[in-house]
Amino acid sequence: MTIRKARIQDIKEIHTLLMRQEDHESLVLPRSFSQLYSHVRDFFVAEENGELIGCVALSITWSDLAEIRSLVVAKARRGGGLGRKLVEAAMSEAVTLGIYTIFTLTEVPGFFEKLGYTATEMDNLNQKIWADCLNCPRFPDHCNEVAMTIEL
């Protein structure tokens, strides 16, 4: 199994991972092909025997802030630490870029707590709210996500 930066050729499989909602315990916001192609450099993928079995994106939000998003591990591969490895790859890239504050919005806060993230108020993430949340059909009254941050 290899974790590597995504390539253009991976977009269709990344899209399939993100759109296969029946495989998700929590909501992963869908991403269009157009969004995926324009953000391919944000993604890491886990590959085994030529098949993508997981992905995560590191999205730079501001000069000192980045977001972990679009974390998916194929249902058959959960529980073996692959999600942790994907998030750690993204966090390592953030440090390489000089970004030391990372956040995520998640319906599975326990997973991120194990990685050192702590819950924070959504109001602390104004850049995220104005960039993405306002366009979400679940915002503001039906959002189940917990905002979490980590300082590296």
- The structural domains of the chain, ordered by start, are 2-151 (3.40.630.30)
Each residue of 95-148: pLDDT tens digit? 999 999 999 989 899 999 999 999 998 877 766 655 666 566 666 666 778 899
Each residue of 60-102: pLDDT tens digit? 988 999 999 999 999 889 899 999 999 999 999 999 999 999 9
Under 8 Å between Cβ of 102 and 59: no
Residues 6 or more apart whose Cβ sits within 8 Å of residue 90: 44, 56, 57, 58, 68, 102
* 13-17, 19-23, 56-60, 107-111: the lowest-pLDDT one: 19-23
What is the pTM assigned to this prediction? 0.90
